[in-house]
Amino acid sequence: MPGLRIEVDEKPSPELRESILQPLLRFNETFAGPTTLEPLALALRSEGDDAVVGGLWADIVYQWMFIHYVFVPEEFRGRGLGSQLIATAEEIAKRRGCVGIRLNTYSFQAPAFYPRLGYELLGKLSNHPPGHEAYLYFKHLTTSERSLAVS
């Protein structure tokens, strides 16, 4: 077998991503079963022109939902829309057989919001971005999984 070298590609193509991802997915499937990514979008639309002004974006894989983005425009905050987005995502996650949800947020976004909805802090990364913190939250959706919470 020939040796290996590391090659830097600062503008990688989607094909290169797939060349790295596919063997990883095959490896993962030997332990975790089929890797099926199920995207989910909940759009907040303005009533006047139907423009998307915010919402929630998530993916489900290995029976866990990962919420990538949640955004409510500032002028609409405090009206329960963020809670409604999360509650809707949780219901969909349950219907799709998820055992939990995880998400990240920054100190300048909404770190106090998620614990009010039952999310537990898994970890905090200081100085990311510089001068701020990143938080990782999770919530178990099934009773049997709650007993397995990370200590």
* Residue-range domain boundaries for the chain: 35-146
Whether 56 shows a pLDDT value over 70: the answer reads yes
> Topology of domain 35-146, per CATH?
Aminopeptidase (3.40.630)
Count the neighbouring beta carbons within 10 Å of the beta carbon of residue 69: 12
Express each pLDDT in 34-55 by its tens digit. 999 999 999 999 999 999 999 9
Judging by DSSP bridges, how do beta strands 52-61 and 64-71 pair with one another?
antiparallel
Say what the pLDDT of residue 147 is: 45
CB 135 within 8 A of CB 121: yes
CB 103 within 8 A of CB 119: yes
Express each pLDDT in 91-132 by its tens digit. 999 999 999 999 999 999 999 999 999 999 999 999 999 999
Which helix (H) or strand (E) is 18 found in, with range? helix 14-32
What percentage of the chain carries pLDDT values higher than 70?
A: 93
* Nearest of 42, 72, 84, 40 to residue 58 by alpha carbon: 40
Q: What is the C-alpha to C-alpha distance for residues 105 and 119, in angstroms, rounded to an integer? A: 12
- Which pair of structure tokens corresponds to residue 6? 């590391």
